[in-house]
Copies of this chain bind each other. A is one copy, B any other.
Amino acid sequence: MGQIINTSIITIGDELLIGQVIDTNSAWIAQQLNAVGMHVSHRIAVGDVWDDIWEALDIESKRSQIILITGGLGPTADDITKPLLCKYFGGKMVMDGPTLEHVTYLFEKVFNRPMPLLERNRKQAEVPDVATILKNERGTAPGMLFEKDGKVFISMPGVPHEMKGIMTDHVIPLLLQRFDPGDIEHRTLMTFGIGESFLAERIKDWEEALPAHVKLAYLPNNSMLRLRLTGRGPDAVILKKEVDDLFASLQALIPDVMIANEDITLVELVGKLLKERKQMVATAESCTGGYVAHLLTTMPGSSAFYTGSVVSYTNGVKHDVLHVAEETLKTVGAVSEATVIQMAENARKLMKTDYAVSISGIMGPDGGTPDKPVGTVWIAVAGEKRTETKQFQFRYDRRRNIEMTAINALNLLRLFILQAD
């Protein structure tokens, strides 16, 4: 079995501390490290404050073998990270030829802006002479690797797509050369519609019987709860069989709530079912306002199974484009079973698909009535032979109601496709 590799992530920037930027970098970095068997033990965010950054380096290098640092490398005045790192590791600043060439290339060929006007951008190519430079293909601030007392420190820019490029191109391969995290096996399954505590109760005995080198993680995401089993062991073959057996016994405990025995999103799962059947789906959305369409089309290649949507946010569009009867809208209203049936059946004909999903509801904060309070939602799925409907009552805020409605619509579509087989 390999070593336990502890990593600390230090994110630098006042913008993180005033809360104007959500730190998505740390989660992404942790996922990448985790996938290769390394462990993030601490994450810390500090402002552009010399003493705070210095102290964070001191503290984290006592805790971890690897210290990853993001942010603080921009061209504006408040970024002090690079001179600090230079001093911390006892180097002096030098101009790095290849980086200057790259920065100049970016300005002249990619940004189409004259480099000389922005002298401060030349500074992006100044680096501590004690750093190993990790090329940033996507931006001007290079990654930098330092070593001290057997610990590895890597500084990267905070711009997410630049950081991701440097991690993938350089950092992960370099870390795997230097550290041996040993063998690791992950197995993930997806559930739908069961809360963490209810699921934990059902698999309690199984979970308590897990050997010490196999861990179970609950990864909630709205109505979808992922379970991930992670095993480590000295023998890859034995470990694989052991984790496979445990994963099979877990699946057998919860067949009713498991929707996939792999790490897959609900959108990917629906897309996969449709592609396997060479079928197409369309949507007709009112209250979700195009969010289901957005979820489906964020997936690359979705045009293989998705034709499009009519986002009918007003009754006018429901009538004019989706041909929902005026009578229906007048009598039972837009948030009704009759309306979603017509929306789904007509959208299916209009966009010539195998299935159509329609949604109408009240997401809040306004628009509720005693009869139809905020959170009331009707969803329909229409196929060639039949149409199914379901009513929901959510009780969250607007954004979360939209999210919950969308994933429940996708889940109803999933069930409808499976039943149609």
Interface residues of A (CB under 8 A from B): 14-24, 26-34, 39-47, 49, 52, 59, 74-77, 110, 113, 117-118, 120-121, 161, 196-198, 200-201, 207, 217-221, 226, 228, 282-283, 285, 287-294, 296-298, 300-303, 306-314, 316-317, 320-321, 350-352, 364-366, 395-400, 402
Complex: how many Å from CA A308 to CA B278? 29
Q: A18-B217, A76-B197, A309-B313 are in contact. List 9 more A-B contacts (CB 8 A).
A: A16-B30, A19-B29, A19-B34, A20-B217, A120-B197, A300-B398, A303-B313, A308-B311, A321-B351
CB pair B207 A77 closer than 8 Å = yes
Select one of B20, B197, B399 contacting A75, CB under 8 A: B197
Distance in angstroms between the alpha carbons of A35 and B76 in the assembled complex: 24
Q: Are A399 and B313 in contact (CB-based, < 8 A)?
A: no
CB < 8 Å: which of B46, B120, B218, B314 contacts A42? B46
Task: Determine how many copies of this chain the complex contains.
Answer: 2
Q: Is the CB–CB distance between A298 and B399 below 8 Å? A: yes
Complexed CA–CA distance, A298 and B402 (Å): 8
Q: How far is the CB of A400 from chain B (nearest CB, A)?
A: 7
- Who on chain B is nearest to A307 by CB? B314
A395 to chain B, nearest CB (A): 8
Contact A41 to B34, CB < 8 A, known contacts A23-B23, A27-B20, A27-B21: no
The one of B41, B52, B321 that contacts A17, using a Cβ cutoff of 8 Å: B41
Please state if B314 and A303 are interface contacts (CB–CB under 8 Å).
yes
Q: For residue A19, which residue of chain B has the nearest CB? A: B30
State the majority secondary structure of interface residues on A. Answer: mixed
With a cutoff of 8 Å between Cβ atoms, the chain B residues found around residue A312 in the complex are 308
Chain B residues near A15 (CB-CB < 8 A): 217-220
B23 in contact with A19 (CB, 8 Å): no
Q: Are A76 and B200 in contact (CB under 8 A)?
A: yes
Closest B residue to A7 by CB, please name it. B17
Distance in Å from the Cβ of A350 to the closest Cβ of chain B? 6
Is the beta-carbon distance between A297 and B303 smaller than 8 angstroms?
no
**6 A–B contacts, CB within 8 A, in A order:** A19-B29, A19-B34, A121-B197, A309-B313, A310-B310, A320-B352
Q: How far is the CA of A364 from the CA of B282 in the complex (A)?
A: 21
Q: Name A23's closest neighbour in chain B (CB-CB).
A: B23
Q: Is the CB of A19 within 8 A of B31?
A: yes
Q: How far is A290 from B284 in the complex, measured between Cα atoms in Å?
A: 11
Given the complex, which residues of B lie within 8 Å of A351, measured CB to CB? 316-317, 320-321
Chain B min CB distance to A42 (Å)? 6
B-chain residues with CB within 8 Å of residue A402 when the two chains form the complex: 297-298
- Inter-chain contacts of A307 with B (CB < 8 A): 313-314, 316-317
Whether A76 lies near B196 (C-beta < 8 A) is yes
Q: Which residues of B have CB within 8 Å of A46? A: 41-43
A59: chain B residues at CB < 8 Å are 59
Interface centre among A32, A75, A283 (most CB of B within 10 A): A75
